[in-house]
Amino acid sequence: MINLKRVLVSTDFSEASGKALPYGASLAQEYEAELHVVHVVEDSLYYAQFVYDGAPFDPSVLIEGLVQDRRKKLDELVKTLPKDVKVVTHLRRGIVASELIALAKEIDADMAVIATHGRTGLKHMIFGSVAERVVRECPCPVLTVRTKAHGMLYDTQVGLKK
């Protein structure tokens, strides 16, 4: 018997991750589970060195602005979900796959839902795949949602009871 208490869904606010959210919300609704929606702000810009007008520029200013923007987007995204789904949001900073795996452990997630972006060939070799790493290392089952399959199933309201 499957018993889901906490469902984790990752979003990067892309069209692809928007396809995964209804699956996580539907599972949370069906099992009366908490839906944990997470966005990870990558800190890669923080380590870059910028020079602006001949003077060093502190990229943490950019990161903080990005964090504030993403918090607003996360709050707006939650408003689109059915009112009977208990939603907990998480905004983290770091390496996306590492943060998703760590959060799944911290909240003792019963299921994670993540979109695949479909990188292949050289792009995949260079950048790797967040979804692939999460599937390999996540402590709970992971539902991967392909962005180019199932056509009509990707309506953002699929399976959700309002």
The domain ranges of the chain are 6-154
pLDDT of residue 10: 95
pLDDT digits (tens, 9 = 90+) for 11-49: 999 888 888 999 999 999 999 999 999 999 986 655 555
Residue 120 host element (H or E): none
Dihedral (C-alpha) 87, 90, 91, 95: value to the nearest 10 degrees? Answer: -130
pLDDT of residue 51: 55
Q: Which CATH architecture has domain 6-154?
A: 3-Layer(aba) Sandwich (3.40)
* 92 neighbors 99 (Cβ within 8 angstroms): yes
From the list 157, 148, 114, the residue with the least C-alpha distance to 133 is: 114
Tokens 């709970």 correspond to 140
First to last CA, the chain: 26
pTM for this model (two decimals)? 0.80
Regions of the chain short of the pLDDT cut 50: 123, 126-127, 150-158
